[in-house]
Structure 1
Amino acid sequence: MIVLEKKSGRIHLQLQAIFMGEDVVVLITGGDRPHLGTITAGARLEPLQTIQLQTHKEFYITEEVAVRLRKSFRGNFAICCGAHLDQITKEEIPLLTELAVQLGDELIQKLSTS
């Protein structure tokens, strides 16, 4: 398992990557109420599939990380994300997204060196 974290101001995100043989499940959670908001699954040569639960908008994160991950990762993957920050500001929304994508990039780097 790989665990990574990013913090900026009130935003605290954690990424956990759990291996299932050659495949990986990635959990990106954080904020005041971690939850399951969006799931994006795919593989290198397969189309991405996203499930958005209720009105959650974490697909901005899961799909961006998935597009990057599929370029170098050979196995199947699922990216689950849910981060809620009470009274999030307009400035914090893109920051939260950027931190989550940075976590995804760090994971990709770790996967390519292992």
Structure 2
Amino acid sequence: MQEQISLKTELFGHELRVNAARLDEGIQVTIAGGSHSHIGSVSFVGYNGTIETIQLPGHKDAHISTHWAKVLWNHFKEPVCVQCGVHFDNLSRSQIEDVIVSCSRMLDTLVKRLI
């Protein structure tokens, strides 16, 4: 049985989306949005808690996917796969912080919905 969870928020005039599935064994998450959604990184944590991340050259999405994978694994102790592709053009340092805060809020909401 799969439990599907969708979350959305708006940031700088663009949508940021999270789609998650609670699988029979594991949690699968896609984080996408901004001005150009894409696949930038994938992070996987197995039963032993070891994380593996693949990030495409020139991308910084692993910062988000790795963090989400670790947090979800720490809460649920089951395999987690997080795919991330979020892009905004020419952000200032404070705007980057806004993206991080928005993603953290969405992660908190997801954890609460999965419990």
Q: Which TM-score band applies after superposition, normalised by the shorter structure?
A: 0.7 to 0.9
Q: Which residue of 2 aligns with 1:97?
A: 100
Q: TM-score normalised to the size of structure 1?
A: 0.86
Rounded to whole Å, the distance in 1 between the matches of 2:78 and 2:16 is: 25
- The Cα shift of 1:11 comes to 4.7
Unaligned runs of 5+ in 1: none
Identity %: 26
Q: Which one has more relative contact order, counting CA pairs under 8 Å at least 6 apart?
A: 1
Alignment of 1:16-35 (within 5 A): 16-35=19-38
Please identify runs of 4+ aligned residues in structure 1 that moved more than 4 A: none
Alignment of 1:1-114 (within 5 A): 1-112=4-115
- The Cα shift of 1:37 comes to 0.4
Unaligned runs of 5+ in 2: none
Across the aligned residues of Structure 1 and Structure 2, the Cα RMSD in angstroms comes to: 1.7
Q: How many residues end up aligned between the 2 structures? A: 112
- The Cα shift of 1:54 comes to 1.4
